[in-house]
Amino acid sequence: MSLIVIILIFVVFVTGYYAWLHTYWRRKGVSGPRGLPFLGSFYELADVNSPRVFIIRKWAKKFGKVFGFYEGATPVLVVGDPEMLQELFIRKFENFNARKTTNYIHGDLENEKEEPLVNVFFSQGNRWKKLRALNNPALSVKSLRIIHDNMENSIICMVDLFSKIKEDTPFNIHEYFQELTYDVICRTALGTPFSNQWNNKEIKLVQTVSNSEKKNIFDL
Cα(114)–Cα(176) distance, rounded to whole angstroms? 41
Q: Which tens digits make up the pLDDT trace of 107-153? A: 666 677 777 777 777 777 778 878 888 888 877 888 888 888 889 99
Which pLDDT band, with edges at 50, 70 and 90, does 218 fall under? very low
Q: Mean pLDDT, to the nearest integer, of 87-111?
A: 69
- Shared domain check, 131 and 23: yes
Could you tell me the residue range of the domain that residue 146 belongs to? Answer: 140-219
- Shared domain check, 92 and 10: yes
Provide the residue type at 21 as one letter.
Answer: L
Q: Is the pLDDT of residue 212 over 60?
A: no
What is the DSSP code string of the chain? Answer: -HHHHHHHHHHHHHHHHHHHHTTHHHHTT------BTTTBTHHHHT-TTS-HHHHHHHHHHHH-SEEEEEETTEEEEEE--HHHHHIIIIITGGGS-S------S---TT-TTTSTT--TTT--HHHHHHHHHHHGGGGSHHHHHHHHHHHHHHHHHHHHHHHTSPTT----HHHHHHHHHHHHHHHHHS---S--TT--THHHHHHHHHHHHHHHHHH-
Q: Considering 91, 107, 137, which residue would you say is the last residue of a domain?
A: 137
Q: Considering 137, 163, 188, which residue would you say is the last residue of a domain?
A: 137
- Shared domain check, 145 and 121: no
Q: What domain count does the chain have?
A: 2
Which pLDDT band, with edges at 50, 70 and 90, does 99 fall under? low
Angle, CA of 61, 79 and 110, to the nearest 5°:
150
- Shared domain check, 51 and 131: yes
Cα(133)–Cα(179) distance, rounded to whole angstroms? 31
Question: For residue 30, what pLDDT is reported?
Answer: 92
Taking CA atoms, 147 is separated from 93, 189, 200, 213, in Å, by 26, 9, 20, 30
User: 36 near 43, Cβ under 8 Å?
Assistant: yes
Cα(42)–Cα(73) distance, rounded to whole angstroms? 10
Provide the residue type at 42 as one letter.
Answer: F
Cα(127)–Cα(211) distance, rounded to whole angstroms? 34
Question: For residue 220, what pLDDT is reported?
Answer: 40
- Shared domain check, 144 and 132: no
Of 114 and 45, which is predicted with more confidence? 45
